[in-house]
Structure 1
Amino acid sequence: MTEAIAFEPTPLERDATFYVAGHRGLVGSAIWRKLEAEGFTNLVGRSSSELDLKDREAVIAFFRETKPKYVVLAAAKVGGILANNTYPVDFLSDNLRIQVNVLDAALEAGVDRLLFLGSSCIYPKFAEQPIREDSLLTGHLEPTNDAYAIAKIAGIMHIQAIRRQYGKPWISAMPTNLYGPGDNFSPTGSHVLPALIRRYDEAARNGDASVVNWGTGSPRREFLHVDDMAAACLHLLENYDGPSQVNVGTGSDVTIKELAQIVADAVGFEGETEWDISKPDGTPQKLLDVSYLADAGWTSSIGLDEGIRSTVEWYRANALSLRG
């Protein structure tokens, strides 16, 4: 694997127009908070009802009007395994259109720096662990979300093509499993960590004697707090310029059983945890190699215990509206 390309640090102008596509989502909202905290004074965001990114003419008109200097493309159609497996056409078509429209409009508008956000699902199902950036396109994808993955791979290729053809210092970042404020805690659509938080919190409130989780609890997963992700995005925009997508994670993982215990402790659940081994475990391990990121000068700072505790606090403060 070629070494990460770092360039002379060039701080972004804090008063320049900065468009965050998907600013109300888990990642986009965290990036918005980070940029505000770092003194950016001209942030631009549009909800999907205000600007449908699948509408090419509307997107082009928006860029011509706002003329952003910087862009983070965090907008995407996302969902869990069930949704991805049931509606692959939607996930492929919608994400391709969002990406092509935003990237074409940004190119026409002369956007200086752009960061495209993907997902670790772009890598082959049986990629060597920890997963390096050069594992991309070396094997078969996970069939349940291959349509979404293909769309994100197309986005990476689009960024690389723009770099080659137009010399733009645009980049891509691929986060590991993210969690934190603004996550999806719905019973049917959430990922493993928010699902565990909801399950254990309800059990603690109800005084339940036990909680039942799927599988054996042995698979290993990596988790990154979304505020760390936001910090990494800004760091990469100011310190990295290379054609390869950059993995963003912690470089360490835990078993699902260990994760469940951290959540149980965070919510104050004192009962027993049972494991339904008749249910599937999924992939044994999914861990990103974050050497590129370290070479670019950034490492995560929010520990898993600390991050889960603060996420539980946020969930409890917003639980009624989330369930509503």
Structure 2
Amino acid sequence: MEKEAKIYVAGHRGMVGSAIVRELEKQGYHNIITRTHKELDLTNQAAVNDFFEAEKPEYVFLAAAKVGGIVANKEALADFMYENMILEMNVIHAAWKNGCQKLEFLGSSCIYPRMAPQPIREDSLLTSELEETNEAYALAKISGLKYCEYLNRQYGTDYISVMPTNLYGKNDNYHPTHSHVLPALIRRFHEAKETGATTVTCWGDGSPLREFLYVDDLANLCIFLMNHYSGNETVNAGTGKELTIKELTEIVAEVIGYTGNIEWDTSKPNGTPRKLLDVSKSAQLGWQYQTELKEGIQLAYEDFLTNPMRAER
């Protein structure tokens, strides 16, 4: 991408989109286009077409999505599938119709089969069944990346996709029930510390293995791939390192300064037992993550404390 190129970041107010905007500005890109949901409803096909016809962005980062944790996904299966599929199809199609040079689609590691061989390679996609608790979201994301692939194959476009592992960092969602595991733990332990609670109860049994990537590292990879990668197969984004949820809770408690007991509610679901991405592809391309987990959690906690709007939603 040329420094003066017109770049549209869809979903710039979200955790990933805002990180991409920060990284673009850091690297000297200055012609960045954004629209709030109020200004542009990405589920409105006519509005999206009008926007692309008027602005003609040369590059698009598609980071907009309806997201949530296990509870949100399980309670709103139809909403997660419909809204994500509609908005991504509208943006990708409008980009193609209006001659966008390159588009990058942001997905999620939940697209991979529940019992995929670990670490999960990009070519394990669609080889077996998905995790039931986020199947609807996964199917929508798979559709988006496949549409990019099919446009490349049929029309010769240069549309790519990147599949991040579990993300965390600045501008995360700390909702008490509709957030992902790490921000949910940050809020829970912070509130326990503030109220002097002697016990914090966490879901499941603490055994699932997870990998976490700091969102600013993802943003750096996204721009790296836009400049250095073309291909139909997606690219995994992660650290290649994993830990148990139990180990994660202990790190979060340490960072926040909570010294009480941690108990486990085994009546609640664990989710996928293990989810570690094979990141050899991004490594071969020449990219490496920078932020270690404990440092990233400290940065995320600072953001939680200094962004009351984020902490309350």
**TM beyond 0.5:** yes
**Counterpart mapping for 1:114-125 below 5 A:** 114-125=103-114
Alpha carbons of 1:279 and 1:322: their partners in 2 closer, same or farther (altered >3 Å)?
A: closer
Please point out which of 230, 253, 258 is paired with 2:242. 253
Task: List alignment gaps of at least 5 residues for structure 2.
Answer: none
Aligned to 1:241: 230
- Does residue 33 of structure 1 match 2:18? no
Question: Aligned-pair distance for 1:278?
Answer: 4.0
Residues 67, 80 of structure 2: 8 Å contact kept: yes
Report the CA distance shift for 1:279/1:27 in structure 2 as closer, same or farther (over 3 A). Answer: same
Distance change (3 Å), C-alpha of 1:321 and 1:176 = closer
Q: Aligned ranges for residues 95-114 of structure 1 at < 5 Å? A: 95-114=84-103
Show CA shifts across 1:249-298 (max 9, x none).
00111111111111111111122222233433332211111111111111
Normalised to the residue count of structure 2, the TM-score between the two structures is: 0.96
| 1:267 equivalenced with 2:267 (yes/no) | no
Aligned-residue sequence identity (percent) comes to 54
Classify the secondary structure of the residue corresponding to 1:174.
strand
Q: Deviations over 1:171-204 (max 9, x none)?
A: 0000000000111101111111011101111111
Q: Report the count of equivalent residues.
A: 313
Corresponding residue for residue 304 of structure 2? 315
Provide the secondary structure at the position in 2 that maps to 1:212.
Answer: strand
**Aligned residue for 1:176?**
165
Q: Distance in 2 between matches of 1:214 and 1:95?
A: 27
- Matching residue within 286, 302, 306 for 1:297: 286
- Cα pair distance change 1:262/1:54, threshold 3 Å: same
Corresponding position: 1:50 with 2:39 = yes
Please, which moves more after superposition, 245-254 or 86-95? Answer: 86-95
Call closer, same or farther: CA 1:278–1:165 in 2, change over 3 Å.
closer
Structure 2 CA distance for partners of 1:91 and 1:276, relative to 1, 3 Å: closer
Distance 1:319 1:273 in 2: 26
Please name the residue that 2:177 is paired with: 188
Report SS of the residue matched to 1:114: strand
One of 78, 84, 87 as aligned partner of 2:76: 87
Instruction: Give the whole-Å Cα distance in 1 for the aligned partners of 2:183 and 2:60.
Output: 28
2:59 is equivalent to residue 70 of structure 1 = yes
CA RMSD, Structure 1 to Structure 2 (Å)? 1.3
Q: Choose the corresponding residue for 1:158, options 143, 147, 157.
A: 147
Alignment match, 2:132: 143
Task: Name which of structure 1's ranges 92-101 and 251-260 shifts more when overlaid on structure 2.
Answer: 92-101
CA distance, structure 2, for counterparts of residue 46 and residue 320 of structure 1: 20
Q: Which moved more, 1:82-91 or 1:30-39?
A: 82-91
Q: Distance in 1 between matches of 2:52 and 2:26?
A: 25
Seen in structure 2, the aligned counterparts of structure 1 residues 67 and 186 have a Cα distance that, compared at 3 Å, is: same
Cα distance in 2 for residues equivalent to 1:209 and 1:322:
22
Separation in 1 of the partners of 2:46 and 2:298? 44
One-letter code of the match for 1:262? Answer: I
1:279 and 2:268 matched: yes
